Structure 1
Amino acid sequence: MMVKWEGVMPAVTTKFTSDDKLDLVMFEKNIKAQMEAGVNGIILGGTLGEASTLTKEEKEILIKVTLTITKGKIPVIINIAEQSTKDAIEVAKHAESIGAEGIMILPPMRYKATDFETVTYFGEIAKNTSLPIMIYNNPIDYKIEVTLDMFEELSQYKNIVAIKESTREITNVIRLKNRFGDRYKVFTGVDTLGLESLVIGADGWVAGLVCAYPAETVAIYKLVKAGKINEAMKIYRWFMPLLELDISPQLVQNIKLAEVATGIGTENVRAPRLPLQGTERERVLNVIQAAMKTRPSLPDYKNL
Structure 2
Amino acid sequence: MSKQLDASAQGVYLITVTPFTDSGALDLASTDRMVDFCLEKGVTGLTVLGIMGEATKLTMEESRTYVKQVLARVNGKIPVVVGASAPGFAPMKELTDSVMDLGASGVMVAPPSTLRTDDQIVSYFQMVGETLGPQVPWCLQDHPVSTGVQMTANVILRILKNSPTCVMLKHEDWPGLAKLTAYRAASDKGEVKRFSILCGNGGGLFLPEELTRGADGAMTGFAYPEMMVDVVAAHARGDRERAHDLFDAYLPLAKYEQQAGVGLAVRKFLFQERGVIASDFVRKPGPKLSAQDVADIRFLVKRQEKRLRELG
TM-score normalised by structure 1 residue count: 0.90
Q: After superposition, what is the alpha-carbon deviation per residue over 1:66-106, rounded to whole angstroms, capped at 9, x for unaligned?
A: 11111111111101222223332332232223321111111
Instruction: Give the SS at the match of 1:20.
Output: coil
Partner of 2:36: 32
Q: Are the aligned partners of 2:82 and 2:106 in contact in 1 as well (CA < 8 Å)? A: yes
How far off is 1:278 after superposition?
Answer: 4.9
How far off is 1:36 after superposition?
Answer: 1.6
Q: Are the aligned partners of 1:258 and 1:288 in contact in 2 as well (CA < 8 Å)? A: no
Runs (5+) with no aligned partner, structure 2: none
| 2:212 is equivalent to residue 207 of structure 1 | no
Match of 1:2 among 4, 14, 20: 4
Q: CA RMSD in A?
A: 2.0
Q: Hey, what's the Cα distance between the residues in 2 that align with 1:217 and 1:271?
A: 29
Q: Hey, what's the Cα distance between the residues in 1 that align with 2:244 and 2:107?
A: 31
Q: Hey, what's the Cα distance between the residues in 2 that align with 1:297 and 1:219?
A: 16
Partner of 1:12: 16
Q: Hey, what's the Cα distance between the residues in 2 that align with 1:128 and 1:195?
A: 36
Identity of aligned residues (%): 23
Match of 1:89 among 90, 93, 97: 93
Partner of 1:180: 187
Match of 1:105 among 101, 106, 109: 109
Q: Are the aligned partners of 1:235 and 1:296 in contact in 2 as well (CA < 8 Å)? A: no
Q: Hey, what's the Cα distance between the residues in 2 that align with 1:248 and 1:189?
A: 15
After superposition, where does 1:67-78 map in structure 2 within 5 Å?
67-78=71-82
| 2:242 is equivalent to residue 231 of structure 1 | yes
Q: After superposition, what is the alpha-carbon deviation per residue over 1:7-40, rounded to whole angstroms, capped at 9, x for unaligned?
A: 1000000000001111111121111111122211
Q: Hey, what's the Cα distance between the residues in 2 that align with 1:30 and 1:159?
A: 30
After superposition, where does 1:119-158 map in structure 2 within 5 Å?
119-129=122-132, 130-154=135-159, 155-158=161-164
Q: How many residues matched?
A: 296
TM-score normalised by structure 2 residue count: 0.88
- Structure 1 range deviating more: 235-244 or 83-92: 83-92
Partner of 1:302: none
Instruction: Give the SS at the match of 2:51.
Output: coil
After superposition, where does 1:259-270 map in structure 2 within 5 Å?
259-265=271-277, 266-270=279-283
Query: Structure 1 pair 28/296, CA: closer, same or farther in 2 (3 Å)?
Result: farther
Q: Are the aligned partners of 2:144 and 2:173 in contact in 1 as well (CA < 8 Å)? A: yes
Query: Structure 1 pair 138/188, CA: closer, same or farther in 2 (3 Å)?
Result: same
Q: Hey, what's the Cα distance between the residues in 2 that align with 1:246 and 1:104?
A: 23
Structure 2 letter corresponding to 1:47: I
Q: Hey, what's the Cα distance between the residues in 1 that align with 2:200 and 2:221?
A: 8
Instruction: Give the SS at the match of 1:205.
Output: strand
Query: Structure 1 pair 293/25, CA: closer, same or farther in 2 (3 Å)?
Result: farther
Match of 1:275 among 275, 283, 288: 288
Q: Are the aligned partners of 1:132 and 1:161 in contact in 2 as well (CA < 8 Å)? A: yes
Query: Structure 1 pair 274/199, CA: closer, same or farther in 2 (3 Å)?
Result: same
How far off is 1:294 after superposition?
Answer: 4.1
- Structure 1 range deviating more: 110-119 or 192-201: 110-119
Instruction: Give the SS at the match of 1:9.
Output: strand
Q: Hey, what's the Cα distance between the residues in 2 that align with 1:247 and 1:139?
A: 16
Q: After superposition, what is the alpha-carbon deviation per residue over 1:130-164, rounded to whole angstroms, capped at 9, x for unaligned?
A: 22111110112221122222223222211101111
